[in-house]
């Protein structure tokens, strides 16, 4: 076997891009790699491009996860005249949309400034306002997430990717 290229790979080497050779004394291929390494240097396990791509992927995942958690954590609306907090997990969002589509006054759960939660009567106009406020907050979070992802995408070093602070 002619060795043209050796790349570090876990606890061994990847030879010629296709043969995995473990670091194991007595293995004839490992002996050949050791001989080759006397006059050649192996490629790193991951290229700088692969490392940067992985860092960006991890940052995108962090951004998406934190954006989703923020969206699901609730939002404030003053549709009832004073600020109330509304739950915003997927079911809550669907229930609110359903109430607005139904087009009538209804009870919807919210929490007042004193932390008292309960189902309070909302007029259809108030329900529309709650939906609009929630949509605005959600859109703001998603737009901020896109800005952070674009920032990560434009960076050229792992250090700069890792320095991007993800907060909503």
80 and 151, same structural domain?
yes
Cβ neighbors of 123 (< 8 A, separation 6 or more) are 105
Identify the domain containing residue 86 by its residue range: 48-163
Q: Is residue 122 part of a domain?
A: yes
Q: Is residue 42 part of a domain?
A: no
132 and 91, same structural domain?
yes
What are 23's two structure tokens?
């670091």
77 and 19, same structural domain?
no
111 and 31, same structural domain?
no
73 and 126, same structural domain?
yes
Give the per-residue pLDDT at 88.
97
56 and 33, same structural domain?
no
138 and 79, same structural domain?
yes
Number of domains in the chain: 2
Q: Is residue 43 part of a domain?
A: no
Give the per-residue pLDDT at 86.
98
157 and 134, same structural domain?
yes
Per-residue pLDDT of the chain in tens (168 residues, 90 and over written 9): 899 999 999 899 999 999 999 999 999 999 999 999 999 999 999 989 999 999 999 999 999 999 999 999 999 999 999 999 999 999 999 999 999 999 999 999 999 999 999 999 999 999 999 999 999 999 999 999 999 999 999 999 999 999 999 999
pTM confidence score:
0.77
Q: Is residue 158 part of a domain?
A: yes
**Measured in whole angstroms, how far is the alpha carbon of residue 2 from the centre of its chain?**
44
Q: Is 160 exposed, middle or buried (0-12, 13-18, 19+ CB in 10 A)?
A: middle
CB 120 within 8 A of CB 80: yes
Q: Is residue 152 part of a domain?
A: yes
């Amino acid at each position: 076997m002619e060795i043209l290229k050796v790349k570090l790979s876990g606890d061994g080497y990847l030879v010629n891009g296709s043969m995995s050779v473990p670091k194991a004394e007595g293995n004839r291929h490992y002996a050949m790699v050791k001989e080759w390494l006397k006059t050649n240097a192996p490629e790193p396990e991951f290229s700088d491009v692969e490392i940067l791509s992985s860092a960006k992927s991890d940052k995108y995942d962090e951004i998406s996860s934190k954006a989703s958690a923020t969206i699901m954590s609730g939002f404030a609306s003053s549709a009832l005249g004073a600020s109330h907090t509304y739950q915003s997990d997927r079911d809550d969002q669907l229930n609110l949309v359903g109430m607005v589509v139904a087009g009538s006054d209804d009870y919807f759960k919210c929490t007042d400034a004193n932390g008292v939660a309960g189902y309070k009567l909302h007029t259809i106009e108030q329900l529309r306002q709650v939906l609009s406020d929630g949509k605005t907050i959600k859109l703001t979070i998603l737009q901020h997430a896109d800005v952070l992802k674009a920032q990560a995408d434009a960076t050229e070093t792992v250090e700069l990717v890792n320095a991007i602070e993800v907060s909503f």
